[in-house]
Amino acid sequence: MTHQIDPNEVRIFSGRSHPRLAAGIATQLGLALEPTYFEQFSNDNLYIQLGASVRSRVVFIVQSLTPPVSDHLMELLMMLDIARGAGAKEVHAIIPYFSYARSDKKNAPRISITARLIADLLHTAGCTHVMTMTLHSPQVHGFFSVPTDPLTARGLFINYLREWEEKNGLTMSPTDTVIVAPDYGRAGSAARLASHFNLPSLSAEKNRISDTEVQIGELIMRQVHGFKRAIIYDDEIATGGSVITLSNLLIRSGIEEIMLICTHGLFINNALGRLDAIPQIREIISTDTVYLPEEKRIPKATILSVAQIFGDAIWKNYTRQSIGELFDI
């Protein structure tokens, strides 16, 4: 459903991390994506100019904090500051993928709780409201001093799985299909997805050794014994280390078919190629919160757009309606 917002009242701009998604959100709102001009000086300083007047208007700035994260964060902070300095009435940061959400606590001496730092920087730069999707650590929501809406893509995945059942002429049964969370932190999300299909859900015990290495307890092998199909449900896939380790354990336990579902598909360091090499992984379903170039996509990869979710949430926010049904809970 396309909404119609007064183009004289609202402006929407995009940073350079994902202009395609920003354009999709603008289309959902019946708006044109306004131009933004970027220039890099010889001393590496960044110059940005918003290409339309924002005075006394409601401004939405779309920017995912994807690699290069620091560059994209700096762009976002500058664009927020520009809008505030140019007299915008409201300045909304639309951040489909919020990086640093793993940095939510001080678990070693002399380190930064970077998620809180970025939340403070957004406020300092002039942001009056934040909208994001599926924070890796839900408690990061509490770091923001401005109203913040963490949305969910669960509805997209539910609709896709129902279409998948119809297309394949089958209904997933609690005797043959199980939904698996890679760690206890995602157990609640897996259970909520499973409830829509009357399926059981389980959680693996994960211990992170390093950025690229994890250990997963073998208890999960006994728990999934007897199931034919597993749906691994995670918030993000970066290098793929967790889901590859988990998939191999599930295969050893007798699982014949695996579907991977994640909201944020970063797919760093040939993660898609490594996942593609496991024949039991039949499909990798993600969203476009992170831009994935066409040349990096593989036949197994299905990318669902979150443009309508953000469009609906922005519309409800603009028209002062509740967006509780879109929250990630």
> Which residue is catalytic, options 206, 228, 296, 316?
206
What is the structure's pLDDT at 205? 74
What is the structure's pLDDT at 187? 87
What is the structure's pLDDT at 136? 82
Torsion of CA 110, 114, 119, 120, to 10 degrees: 30
**Distance (Å) of CA 248 to CA 44, 176, 221, 285, 300:** 45, 18, 10, 18, 18
What is the structure's pLDDT at 213? 67
Residues 6+ apart with CB under 8 A from 261: 157, 193, 231, 232, 233, 234, 285, 286
The per-residue pLDDT string of the chain (329 residues; one tens digit each, 9 = 90 and over) reads 567 788 899 999 999 999 999 999 999 999 999 999 999 999 999 999 999 999 999 999 999 999 999 999 999 999 999 999 999 999 999 999 999 988 878 878 899 999 999 999 999 999 999 999 998 878 888 889 999 999 999 999 999 999 999 999 989 999 999 999 988 888 899 999 999 999 999 988 777 766 666 667 777 877 888 899 999 999 999 999 889 999 999 999 999 999 999 999 999 989 999 999 999 999 999 999 999 998 889 999 999 999 999 999 999 999 999 988 888 76
Quickly name the fold that domain 154-304 has: Rossmann fold (3.40.50)
- Find out if CATH 3.40.50.2020 is the number for domain 10-153+308-326: yes
Domain boundaries, the chain: 10-153+308-326, 154-304
206 belongs to the catalytic site: yes
**Of the candidates 205, 207, 235, 233, the residue with the CA atom closest to the CA atom of residue 221:** 205
State both tokens at 159.
């609709």
Label the pairing between strands 214-216 and 229-237.
unpaired
What is the structure's pLDDT at 286? 97
Q: Matching CATH topology for 10-153+308-326 and 154-304?
A: yes
Q: How far apart are CA 265 and CA 306, in angstroms?
A: 13
**Of the candidates 12, 25, 22, 97, the residue with the CA atom closest to the CA atom of residue 57:** 12
